[in-house]
Structure 1
C-alpha cells in the first residue's frame, strides 16, 4: 500500500527545518505569478512569490526533505527561471498551467535532467491529454500533481472538490499508477477542519492511490517561525492524526472506500450549490 507523503509551503528556514523533522517530506516554494492573480484573485490561495534568496535560505537548512520550487508557466525567460531556481538549491521543479505535450517536452529539455520535475496538471487540456505527454516522464524521477483549484475554475465549477463528484480523476489515477509515475492531488486541511475534512478526503487519496498532498494553510497560517507555528497548533500531533486516519483507510474495503467517495460527492456538490446560490 502506497504511503501518502506531505508537502507544505513555507519560505521560513526555521519552519522548514522544524516541519521536516515532523513528517513533511517536501518543502514547497513558489515563484509562480504570471496570470495567477487573474485566475485565483477571488480565492484564498497562496499567491506570494518567493525570491531566489528565500529559496537559498531554505535550501541551506533542510537535511531530509526535498525542496521543490514551482516556476511560472512556460515563457520567454523560463530558461533563466530554471537556472536561477536550481542554482539557489531547488531539488525539484514544478511546471504549472501547461496544456500539451510540446510544453512538457520543452520544459524537460530546459531542465535537461538536472533535477526531477513535477508537472502540475491543472488544466482540462493537460488532464485529457495525459496519455500523450505522460510517456515523456521518467518513472521514479518525474512526477505529476493534479491541481484542483485551477482545474475547477477552468471547468466553471464553484468548489475545488467538485471534480471528484463524478470520479473525474479515476482514469488519470489508473494511468499514472499503471505507468508507476508517482503523483498527488490537491491539498488537505487538518483532521476535523475544512469544508471537506481531512478524515473524509484521506479515504479518496487511498482509493485513488495518490502519494502526495499539500498541507493547507490550516497547518501553518503563514507562520514565520516554528514558535509561531506551535503557538497556533500542535504540529506533530496533527501529523499523527493524519497518519492514524491514513492507517484506518488503508484497512478499509473497496465498498467502504466507494461509500466514502459518495459522501465526498454529496458534500462537494452541496457546497457548490450553496456558493452558486
Structure 2
C-alpha cells in the first residue's frame, strides 16, 4: 500500500488524518523563492515553523511519522535542520536541490538523526540523479511534479507522466534500491485527471509514497471537524479500495491505464492552450 502524506500543522487535523490511516504528517516550512517560482499558480505557502512539529507529535503520538520540508539550501540550513530534528521530525525533506554535492551537504547536516528524503523538482537534479543516488545516507526520494514541470516549460504537471520523465526517474531509483514516490493525489471519484488513474500509475511505476493534495481535504475552506473527519475516513478508505484493485491488475491493464492518462492529459493541455 502507498504511504500517504498530508500537509498540516494543525494538531487536531493531524490526529484526524493519522486516525484515518495517513502514514506521515508533512510540516511544510519552505518559503524561500517559492512565491517567485510559482507566481500565478494556484499553490499554497504554509508558513509552518519547527515548533509545529512538536505540537503535531504530541497530537498523533509515536505511530505516525512526521516529515519536515525545510527551505532550499541557504546559510541557515543547519540551524533549520537542527530545530526540526530537536522538535521531533522523523524525516527531513530538502526541496530545490540541483547537484550531488547538495545532497552530500544535506546528509552531513542531518547526520543520521532522521531519515533523508530529497525532493527532486529541478531539471538539473533529474540530470544528475544517478550520481546523487551513489551518496550514502539517502533514504527515500520524492519527485515533485509541480516545480519540475515548470523547469521543462510544460503547461500541466502530469505531462511528466506522459513524456517518459517520471518513468525514467523511477527506473533509476529502482536500480539504486531507493524507495520513492511522486506528486499528489485527490480523492477517488474526483479530479479532471481522475485520482484512480493516478493511483494506477503509482502501482505501474512501483511508487511507495504520495501526498494527499489540497483537493483531498481543503481545510482552508472546510473548518467543521466532523466533516473533516468524515472526508478523511471515507477518502482514505476509497484510496485503499482502488489500491486493492490495482494489486490484481495485469500488465495489459496497467498499459491501458497509462493510455487513459495520456489521453486525459492531452485533452487537459489542449484546453489550457485554447
TM-score, normalised via structure 1 length: 0.93
Structure 1 unmatched ranges of 5 or more? none
Q: Which residue of 1 aligns with 2:66?
A: 67
Q: Deviations over 1:30-77 (max 9, x none)?
A: 110011001113222231210223222112222211000000100111
Number of corresponding residues: 273
Kindly report which structure 2 residues correspond to 1:228-243, keeping only aligned pairs within 5 A, or say none: 228=225, 230=227, 233-243=230-240
Using the TM superposition, give the Cα deviation of residue 212 of structure 1 relative to its aligned residue in structure 2, in angstroms. 0.4
Q: Which residue of 2 aligns with 1:207?
A: 204
Cα pair 1:220 1:229 within 8 Å, conserved: no
Judged with a 3 Å threshold, the aligned counterparts in structure 2 of structure 1 residues 4 and 251 are, in CA distance, closer, same or farther, namely same
Using the TM superposition, give the Cα deviation of residue 174 of structure 1 relative to its aligned residue in structure 2, in angstroms. 1.8
Cα pair 2:217 2:231 within 8 Å, conserved: no
TM-score, normalised via structure 2 length: 0.94
Kindly report which structure 2 residues correspond to 1:197-276, keeping only aligned pairs within 5 A, or say none: 197-222=194-219, 227-228=224-225, 230=227, 233-276=230-273
Mean Cα deviation higher: 43-52 or 126-135:
43-52
Matched, 1:14 2:4: no
Using the TM superposition, give the Cα deviation of residue 164 of structure 1 relative to its aligned residue in structure 2, in angstroms. 0.8
Using the TM superposition, give the Cα deviation of residue 232 of structure 1 relative to its aligned residue in structure 2, in angstroms. 8.0
Using the TM superposition, give the Cα deviation of residue 23 of structure 1 relative to its aligned residue in structure 2, in angstroms. 1.0
Matched, 1:105 2:104: yes
Q: Deviations over 1:2-39 (max 9, x none)?
A: x2110000111111112111110000011100110011
RMSD: 1.8
Structure 2 unmatched ranges of 5 or more? none
Cα pair 1:15 1:224 within 8 Å, conserved: no
Q: Which residue of 1 aligns with 2:141?
A: 144
Return the structure number with greater relative CO, CA threshold 8 A, min gap 6: 1
